[in-house]
Amino acid sequence: MAMPIVNAPTYPHKVTMEEIPIGIEARGSIEKVRTYQITTVTIGGDMAHRRRVQQQKAYHVPTDPKSEGQLAMRQVFKDGAAAWSALPAGQKEAWNEAAEEEFKNRDEQPGSWRYHTGYNLFMSQYLRSH
């Protein structure tokens, strides 16, 4: 369901529940009651006619189904983080240097721009191998 577009974000007063304007732009959630975001919409589906809009909606409690696959992936991620923590400082520095080198050569290796740290590069490779 799409979030409604509003001119100014509002928030319900705790006692009167009257909608009170809270500013020009708002982002994020307040007290798990309402969520705000700034987004870009197209006018009539034409990308040349876009505009930024403020949207607000009731806070949505995310679901956590805890499926077997999800729990297994969380464990792999935890194991990867533990493996990174267990690395000696010299190996961590080598990963950081490799990440920095990939970032410098990002024009030659599309997609490598996303590895800004050795931890990110290590985790990416760890998760792919498990």
The pairing of strands 19-21 and 46-58 is: unpaired
What does the angle CA 35 – CA 36 – CA 39 come to, to the nearest 5 degrees? 135
Same domain, 39 and 75: no
Same domain, 10 and 43: yes
Same domain, 75 and 41: no
Same domain, 9 and 50: yes
Residues 4-53 have pLDDT tens digits of 556 666 767 677 777 766 666 667 777 787 887 777 777 777 767 777 77
Evaluate whether residue 34 is within a structural domain. yes
pLDDT at 96 (0 to 100): 93
The pairing of strands 46-58 and 5-6 is: antiparallel
**Number of domains composing the chain:** 2
Residues 78-112 have pLDDT tens digits of 999 999 999 999 999 999 999 888 877 766 666 55
Evaluate whether residue 63 is within a structural domain. no
Q: Which of 53, 52, 13 is nearest to 33 (CA)?
A: 13
Q: Which residue range is the domain that position 92 belongs to? A: 68-129
Q: Is the pTM of this model over 0.85?
A: no
